[in-house]
Structure 1
Amino acid sequence: MRGVHHIETHKSQRNGWLRAAVLGANDGILSTASLILGVAASGADQRSLLAAGLASLVAGAMSMAAGEFVSVSTQADTESADLDRERKELKADPVHEQAEMAAIYVERGLDADLAARVAQALMTHDALGAHARDELGIFGPYTARPVQAALSSAGSFALGALLPLLLTVLSPATARMWMVPGGSILSLALLGLLSAHAGGAPRLPAATRIVGWGALAMALTAAAGALFGAA
């Protein structure tokens, strides 16, 4: 049909930024809450707890940004190298490359004649784009975006880390050891539910996973802090 454009969006197109954002927020809540609990269990005062929490926020956000940027940049470099190689192969032997595309479509279920016609039509329209999409799996929203991933991770880590810091400020000393982990676990559960909803995945398993690992990490860190304080 003429004039019809594919405007449909899919939840899998969110995978890049959603993964980075969820990972950042989860780490922000979990690492900062665990650090605060560990330091609190050693007998430190509120000023020391806030200093530790702020240090965790800044260091964690920068670490997440750097890690995501380096990782996704490596992926982008690999994609670029693959595209350069494909471009050279198309220039050197377009007949072989067209046959290669036809073979891909045959493997996907087309008969040989139709596959050959499809390969010819797509390569006439955009040979490199057809090979990038169907041979290399590089296409549009799925390409690597290092800056987007870095900013998403750093921002979400900082937002996640703010929660245990606020709980530390607002909770009295006598209630801190249950208010900080309690509020953090509730936040982790909400994060799991929201991320599952955004990605179209089952919500309860996502929330259960994130809460289970979060509770374990906080418990172990608090125990380590208590041992240090006792020593």
Structure 2
Amino acid sequence: MTHVHGVAAGGHPDEPHGDNYASRLNWLRAGVLGANDGIVSLAALVVGVAGVTSSTGPILTAAVAGLVGGAISMALGEYVSVSSQRDSQRALITKERHELKSDPAAELTELAGIYEAKGLDPQTARQVAKELTAHDPLAAHLEAELGITERDVVSPWVAAGASALAFAIGAVLPLLAILLPPPEVRVPITFVVVLLALALTGYISAKIGGNPVLRPMIRVVCGGALALAATFAIGTLLGTSGVVS
């Protein structure tokens, strides 16, 4: 396929056609969602503590513990998830490589059958299969049969680090919002800052997915407001009831 300045022949310059575009999009979306988790989780935690006490010490302790614990939890979850995905992908790639080596003729017929099932006539489908096999047989079969490429096998360490970083970046905002203002206004300021930040993450997430922005923004803001209100109410109730002193 002919390319001009990185754009496939016949393609529009403003349309992404890179092989790993979907992968980059998923990473970006995961980063936004990780930051959103950091914002909501830490904000709910510190607002809950602020409902019990206006003292900076306990709030700071809870905030730092929540940030570190949350980031580690996110990293661990992502590491386990991506490790399982990577192991499955590697097993599929190994299996496909073995099949190509042991019975290339059958694999060629299978590939031609896949393209025939997509609407090509048998002769064209076989010609396409032959040309793709001549270029890169493993890549041709992985993409047609499994919808993956060898580049799709990501590092669980990278995924874990990215997830922890995204969470920590999001968590820093409510941490600063609760600690910097005077005690008498720190809770309302935190509410405002967090809800504005959530509106922004909802906007970015919608834009990444190419969707209308209003509904995702409303969903994420309402969810965040509910979490903050619930934890603050619980903290206040515990503080006034004498259960926590």
1:122-166 Cα distance to aligned partner (Å, 9 max, x none): 112211111111111112664434233222211111111111111
The letter for the 2-side match of 1:126 is D
Give the corresponding residue for 2:225: 215
Q: Quote the residue 1:159 is aligned against.
A: 169
Deviation at 1:68, TM superposition (A): 1.0
Partner of 2:126: 116
Match of residue 88 from structure 2: 78
The percent of aligned pairs where both chains have the same amino acid is 47
**Partner in structure 2 of residue 40 of structure 1:** 50
1:90 and 1:97 in contact (8 A); partners too: yes
C-alpha distance in 1 between matches for 2:3 and 2:154: 30
The partner residue of 1:53 within 47, 63, 82 is: 63
- Paired residues of 1:193 and 1:204 also in contact (CA < 8 A): yes
Higher relative contact order (CA 8 A, sep 6+): 1
Paired residues for 1:70-219 under 5 Å: 70-139=80-149, 142-219=152-229
Contact 1:133 1:139 in 2 (8 A): yes
| 1:225 corresponds to 2:231 | no
**What amino acid is the match of 1:151?**
G
Is this contact kept in 2: 1:13–1:141, CA < 8 A?
A: no
User: Which of 17, 38, 47 is equivalent to 2:27?
Assistant: 17
TM, length-normalised to structure 2: 0.86
Contact 1:36 1:53 survives alignment (8 Å): yes
For residues 57-114 of structure 1, the C-alpha deviation after alignment (integer angstroms, 9 at most, x for no partner) is 1111111112112211211111000000111111222121111111111121111111
- 1:12–1:202: structure 2 CA closer, same or farther, 3 Å change rule? farther
Q: CA contact under 8 A between 2:112 and 2:122: conserved in structure 1?
A: yes
> Which amino acid is the alignment partner of residue 133 of structure 1?
E
C-alpha distance in structure 1 between counterparts of 2:156 and 2:213, whole Å: 28
Between stretches 32-41 and 140-149, larger displacement belongs to 140-149
Whole-Å separation in 1 of the counterparts to 2:6 and 2:115 = 21
Query: Under a length normalisation based on structure 1, what TM-score does the superposition of the two structures give?
Result: 0.91
Is 2:179–2:186's contact at 8 Å kept on the other side of the alignment?
no
Unaligned runs of 5+ in 1: none
- For the aligned residue pairs, the C-alpha RMSD in angstroms reads 2.1
Matches of 1:161 and 1:3 in 2, distance apart?
Answer: 43
Cα 1:212–1:145 change in 2 (3 A) is: farther
Q: Which has the higher helix share?
A: 1
**Equivalent residues of 1:33, 1:164 under 8 A apart:** yes
Distance 1:214 1:205 in 2: 14
